[in-house]
Each structure stands twice: as structure tokens, then as C-alpha cells.
Structure 1
């Protein structure tokens, strides 16, 4: 797969996941957070499963792949989705997207240590530029309506879980294709989330949950932002590594911020536009896209 295709694929992930934070925030008005996580993962697994079965039926998974697949299920899906659904309910969508933006920094550092991915100067500078954009926004958002310290703390857990899950993805795709890792990890995690939801929630839906608009957003969030987004992300991690792929996540809070302003009426200020420039520079520098563009010109 060439670099241009990978770049476009990761940009698609940025948009799918950036708007997903806003969609989940909206859906918590109709579903309890833990119930919502289980429902979304079941729908995502059902969306992915035919792609695995269609070519030649159920395929055995190499034994060496099961450890990483279970790691993806535990960190990327089970813990991440629980913390994500609960944290977004307890804080503002703006704070949620900003905290998730710390992912690239930790992923880059841990990937160089645990899976021996190269740690280049440009990659570190890209992380620093992206993080600078995030910190710039945070400095002006202390009074964000709906934000709580507890909610922000839960979002930190969601971010850390995804960092460790991304490293499991890198190891898992050594032994099995990204589609297999993505689908099987969802099949492992979805029942656990449903059982937790049944235990924690006597009521699974609120009034209006079955109206056309909430259902349409639920399906889009589950099938496209969650299932397709995870498949594209895991494919990208397989080809370019967790640390390089994570740099694209610096664009997720930018999408989330503008989506929050558009759909949730959260206010945008001048810091957001400067942060957008810093994030684009960081992604371009850290992934090598900026150098490729210069050569092309």
C-alpha cells in the first residue's frame, strides 16, 4: 500500500473519530453510557463479521495472534469504550477531544521503548507541535460548560487504554491481517460489554431512543466511526507503525472541536485556529508528508 493511500485512509479515520466524540455525547441523552458501549460494539461486530466470513468461511486464527487480539479487545475496546462513554457523559465534548489528543505523545514514547519503533527527530517535533496546539486550547477552556474533574480523569483512562491497545494492534497484525484482528477483537469484547451493561443498567434506553434521528446516529457511530474507523486504523498501524499512525490523531481534536461548535454550540476562539495550524504542521512533519510535498513541488 503506497503512502498516499495510507495518508488518505488515516485522514478518514480522523474525521470518523473526531465526529464520533460528538455523536457519543449526543447519544448519551438516549442511552446510559455503559449500555451505549455494548450496543455500539455489538453493531460494529455485526458489521465486520460478514467481511471475514464471505471470502471463504470462518478462518482459524494463529495461536500467536490470540494474545494481541485479546489485548486489543481489553484495551482498545472494553476499557476504552467504558471510559469513553462515561467520560464524555461527565465532561464537555471539547475537553474529551483534547485529552484524547495526548495519545500521540505517549504512543510515540512507548512504541520506541516496547516495540522498538524508530524515534526520529521529526517525529518528536511533530508530537511537540501537536501537543502545543492542544495545550494552547486547554489554556483558554478552563470554564467550559459541562466539564468536570472526574469526567476529565475518566477520559485520561480512555486515552491510556487506547495507547496500550495500539501497541497490541501492531503485534497482532504481525500474525494475522488487520481485518481479522479488528473483527475478532470486537467479537471478544462485545459480549463482555453487553454483560457489564446488563449488570450496571436496569434501564437500557431513555425516551426517544427509537426515533429516526437517534437511531441513524447510533448506526453511523457503530458501523462507520467505530467498525470502519477501527479497521482503517489497524490497517494503518500495520503498515506505518503505532507511533507514526498516532500522529494523525492530533487532527482528531480539531475535527471534534469544530464539530462541537457546529452541533453542540460550544464556542470557538482564536486559540483553536492557531491550534489547527500547529496540528497540521505536526502531522505533516512527523509523518513525512511535508517532506514528500516539498519534493513533489
Structure 2
């Protein structure tokens, strides 16, 4: 979570120095190569079955292409603090989409979580007394980014039932990066020429973001979520938002105002309630208590 959190200001640096979609395409492509190198060392690289491709392409479209396309555009148009806080809505949006798509029942606790989390984002985006005038298009792009990723998690969870999630990650990143590169040719004609501005500091930032956060970070998360469970993972995801705020202040020197912390304090319980993590933890404690009583 610390690696992912500090990746937010690193992305801000990259999309400010280069054309956002172009540098994002190269960042994700580099990450996919690192993922496949690690999987090759583990002996896990193989050609997917035909019925897996719909999940690979669907996940690559939403989890990589749309998510990182809007993330790059959004990070270039809003502050890293706003980016990190809005991205914290991910678990809530995933749970909400699961309810809408699978028509699952929804509890009062989850409704309260959705409301609280949404209030946290509104406080962050509209805070500071600026109201709607303080809203920027970058904030909307970040919201679209996390919405696309939330939808992709539903596809990924289905595919992970019979496909190695680590291998799935590699293929999604690889094909998603190709889509981003093609999009950059249309959206940013001068995208490749902007890469001439590279220097040693930018190379270090690029490697930390692409290799450390996007490649290794996703592999570690996808591997450990199977060990601790989604409920506990949702709790840790709140630290992602915290570290993105701290990183934005330390690395970029961005100011952090009271309404940023207020937004964070609303999103954290919102995630715990809205994602179902709180209910799952309560159920686990009850099961443990019942076993102890027997």
C-alpha cells in the first residue's frame, strides 16, 4: 500500500513532464515485461486457453486501458492529493457494481458506507470554500478511472477462478499497453517527441513507478489477497489513500488542507462499511466465538 500510495505523486511527475497517455503506455508496457520476466522465472508463463481470452481482453480494456488512460489524463489535470483521495473509493465502487450487476442484496451498513464514502469525495473535491468552481475536469477523469477499475475487478475475480491471477495480470497489462499506445497516436501526435525531455531523475521516477508499483506492486497484491482475504485487503487499501496524501506533500510539496483529512476520515469508514469488509469481519468474529464456545 505504501508503494501504491507513493506511486500517485510519481505518476503526477511523469504526466507533467511528458504527454500523459504516451508515457502511461510505455509505463504499463514496461511493467508487463517485468511481470512476464518474474513469471518466467517462476515457470508460470503459458498461452491461455481460448475461453480465458474474453477475460484477458475485457480486463485489459477496463483494468488497464480505461483505468490508466483516465488516470494519466486526470493526474495531469488535478492535484496528486485529490487523485489519491478519489482513488480511495475503489472498494466501495467495486461492491456497488457487484450489487447492481449480480443483483445481490444490500444491507443498511453498506448503504451507509456508500453515502459516507461519497460524502468524503465531495468534501475533498468541493472543499476549501470554492464549491463547484473548485471542481476541475481532472477530478472527473480520476473518478472515471477508478470506476473502470472497479468494474474490471468483477471480471478479474471471475477469471481468477480457473486462471492464475498473476499470469492474468501480465496479459492484461501487455494488451492494455498496446491499446494505450495506439490511443496516444491519435490523442497526442507529439507524444513520442515529448520523450526527448528525459533526464536521469525522470528515468528513476519511471522505473520506480513502472517496475516497483505497477509490476511488482500488483503481483504482490494479487498474490497476498488470496492469503488474507478480500475483507482484510479492503482495510489495507485505506492505507493506500493515506500514503498518497503523505507522498504528495513530501515529494511534490502539495499543500494538505483540513478538508483533505476530513474527506479521508469519511472515506475510510465508508470503505470498511461499503465494501462489506466490516460485515465480513463481524461474521468471522462470530464464527470464532461460536467455535470457542463449543
TMscore range, shorter length: 0.7 to 0.9
User: How do residues 141-220 of structure 1 correspond to structure 2 at under 5 angstroms?
Assistant: 141=128, 143=130, 149-199=136-186, 200-204=188-192, 206=194, 209-220=197-208
1:106 paired to 2:105: no
Is this contact kept in 1: 2:99–2:105, CA < 8 A?
A: yes
Query: Which of 32, 35, 42 is the aligned partner of 2:29?
Result: 42
**Alignment partner, residue 81 of structure 1:** 68
> 2-side partners of 1:97 and 1:279: how far apart?
11
Per mean C-alpha deviation after superposition, the further-off stretch among 36-45 and 119-128 is 119-128
> 1-side partners of 2:69 and 2:97: how far apart?
23
**Alignment partner, residue 83 of structure 2:** 96
Is this contact kept in 1: 2:234–2:277, CA < 8 A?
A: no
Is this contact kept in 2: 1:21–1:93, CA < 8 A?
A: yes
1:287 paired to 2:274: no
> 2-side partners of 1:121 and 1:67: how far apart?
35
With over 3 angstroms needed to count, the CA separation of the structure-2 counterparts of 1:120 and 1:197, relative to structure 1, is same
Query: Is the radius of gyration larger for structure 1 or structure 2?
Result: 2
Is this contact kept in 1: 2:184–2:191, CA < 8 A?
A: no
> 2-side partners of 1:29 and 1:48: how far apart?
26
Per mean C-alpha deviation after superposition, the further-off stretch among 243-252 and 42-51 is 243-252
TM-score normalised to structure 2 length: 0.79
Deviation at 1:227, TM superposition (A): 1.4
Deviation at 1:231, TM superposition (A): 2.6
Deviation at 1:201, TM superposition (A): 3.2
TM-score normalised to structure 1 length: 0.78
With over 3 angstroms needed to count, the CA separation of the structure-2 counterparts of 1:265 and 1:44, relative to structure 1, is same
The CA deviation string for residues 242-279 of structure 1, in whole angstroms up to 9 with x for no partner, is x8755654443332222222222222233444555555
Deviation at 1:86, TM superposition (A): 1.0
The CA deviation string for residues 123-143 of structure 1, in whole angstroms up to 9 with x for no partner, is 555555544444443442465
Is this contact kept in 2: 1:132–1:275, CA < 8 A?
A: yes
Deviation at 1:206, TM superposition (A): 4.2
> 2-side partners of 1:122 and 1:208: how far apart?
52
Deviation at 1:73, TM superposition (A): 0.5
1:227 paired to 2:218: no
Say what the alpha-carbon RMSD is for the aligned residues. 3.4
With over 3 angstroms needed to count, the CA separation of the structure-2 counterparts of 1:57 and 1:29, relative to structure 1, is same
Is this contact kept in 2: 1:130–1:250, CA < 8 A?
A: no
Unaligned ranges ≥5, structure 1? 1-11
SS state at 1:204 partner: helix
Is this contact kept in 2: 1:99–1:156, CA < 8 A?
A: yes
**Alignment partner, residue 8 of structure 1:** none
Is this contact kept in 2: 1:284–1:290, CA < 8 A?
A: no
SS state at 1:175 partner: coil
